[in-house]
Chains A and B, each alone.
Chain A
Amino acid sequence: DQQVKQNSPSLSVQEGRISILNCDYTNSMFDYFLWYKKYPAEGPTFLISISSIKDKNEDGRFTVFLNKSAKHLSLHIVPSQPGDSAVYFCAASPYNTDKLIFGTGTRLQVFP
């Protein structure tokens, strides 16, 4: 039972344009959401998080949007850079625990 879903296994975007990565969840108990970036043979790197009391959080080129009614969140990267090419994981945490439930990831490729 996949509680956090990233339905697009891959995404290709031109440098300078916007990258939009999507994530859906099914568990209403999730109240904290995070995005991580992962390069091959490395651990995930924290990018940005959002609490369920907010619908938007911004940090530099990265913005996360949360739509609780649709149980959907997205990560916007603008402008996209070649160094952003990596696998992006969405993760969620239930309100009564600190464990993270991860999606299966979306591979982003930013080409010149």
Chain B
Amino acid sequence: NAGVMQNPRHLVRRRGQEARLRCSPMKGHSHVYWYRQLPEEGLKFMVYLQKENIIDESGMPKERFSAEFPKEGPSILRIQQVVRGDSAAYFCASSRLREGRNEQYFGPGTRLTVT
């Protein structure tokens, strides 16, 4: 029973390049969340998606960041024209589609370094 998968685990980009982070949820999970952790801080919510829908993007920076969860394939977090301040660990989580409140299960994260 595979958990949440993220790739790549490590990504190095120069300033101005694009970064694409991928997340495959756990089997049977249809909700995907993205969080960012800056050094020495807690995780910060970015965006919540279901298949083909963005449900809550209140934590996404207004520019350069976008996310999608297509009908087929993984969820993608895309950062255009990266800057040094984008260097962080990006975590994806998934949860089931069911009534009530559901715990989120996290992937191992992608560590983005912008040089």
Contact = CB atoms under 8 A, between A and B. Distances in A.
B106 A98 contact: no
Q: Say which size band chain B's interface belongs to.
A: 20 to 34
Interface in A44-99: 44-46, 49, 51, 89, 91, 93, 97-99
With most chain A CB atoms within 10 A of its CB, the pick from B41, B42, B58, B104 is B42
Interface of B is mostly: strand
A46 B104 contact: yes
A100 B106 contact: no
Nearest to A42: B108
Contacts of A41: 108-109, 111
Q: Say which size band chain A's interface belongs to.
A: 20 to 34
Interface of B: 4, 6, 31, 33, 35, 41-45, 48, 55-56, 58-59, 91, 93, 95, 101-109, 111
